Structure 1
Amino acid sequence: MDLRERRSMNNRYKIEVTRKRIKNMYLRVKDTDGTLSVSAPYGMSDTEIRKFVESKSDWIEQTTQKMLIARQLKEQEPVLAPFMEREIRLELKRQLQRLIDKWEPVMGVKSAGFTIKKMKTRWGSCNVKSHHMNFNLLLAKVPPECAEYVVVHELTHLLEPSHNARFWSLMEYYLPGSKELRKQLAGFSAKDMI
């Protein structure tokens, strides 16, 4: 392993180069400290590696910026007292159950229950084989119509597993205006939440 500072990247990035028995070069940014990790073939020169990294400067900037924002949001996220989180979970569970009870007969589907979880990248998920759904705890902080959109979205997966044209057509059929609700939901981020 070869660990170096590269002045060509404005002294901003530490680059870790690992030479391997591979054909192409690969680059990733470590989320722990922002180090650029390059995997390169054994025969690749330092100059070729430097040019490769420099050619990816836009991607590196975007990726490190996203990581910085994610880290800041996580630091800003207040810690909930256990009893407060329990209350929020209970209220969300009641809200989601009312929505499921409302929509299952309308859509002609039956779920096998749901779990509320802290999820980083999804508002909900549905296991189409077991019919069990998962919902993000952060739904407790979005407008009720957005939570309803997520419930209908996951129940729609019981009719159409993939996000194809039929799926979106069914969403619009059962929940007219679902496209606008989807955009509204996409406008929320962790800083707006719990």
Structure 2
Amino acid sequence: MRAWHAQNAAPPAPVGGHSAAGRSPWPPPPPRRRSPEPRSPCSGTGSVGFLVSAICGQATGTGHLTYTDGTTQDYTLTAPDWLAATPPSGTSVAVSSAYRNGPDNTRQNVTSRIFSMAVPLASGKTLSSVTLPSASTLPLTCATPALHVFAADVSNHVVSLRAHANGKYMTAPNGGASPLIAGTTSIGPPEEFDLIDN
């Protein structure tokens, strides 16, 4: 994991119990027990962003999102191999390292990457939890493509706008019945706007 120091002032936070220093394998090996699939509490609206990578080739897995009304939505993550130079459509490079540590702490001059991707949530629904995909076949071997999910977070697509002219936030007073004005110094519901992607 010390390879992260090649481009970052500090290594990323430990993931899955692996230390961010020393001889920890990178990426961390997939857990040996793949079932039941991990389920994480997560709430919000908008989209779920994932930080992912794969080893031994591209890996794909399907998980599901559970909403507060009890309904579910399947989603699929396809992660490139961590050594892939070009991310597939809908994916971008989130983190890269100039080298990696090999066996016996030897330096290997290959670029390793973690990729980001987003899954849109159903309109008008609030997310309750995320069930991660299981994208490996058992038994796991060095030649088995395996998906690694490092992080997930919900983007609510809610933004606030601050005017350059006076440094104040744009507000929609009286429930939006009055004209917009840049007139407040703090953010509350009248200063929050939905960011809509068309």
Give TM-score scaled by structure 1 length.
Answer: 0.19
Larger RCO of the pair (alpha carbons < 8 Å, separation 6+): 2
Larger radius of gyration: 1
Greater strand percent: which structure? 2
Greater helix percent: which structure? 1
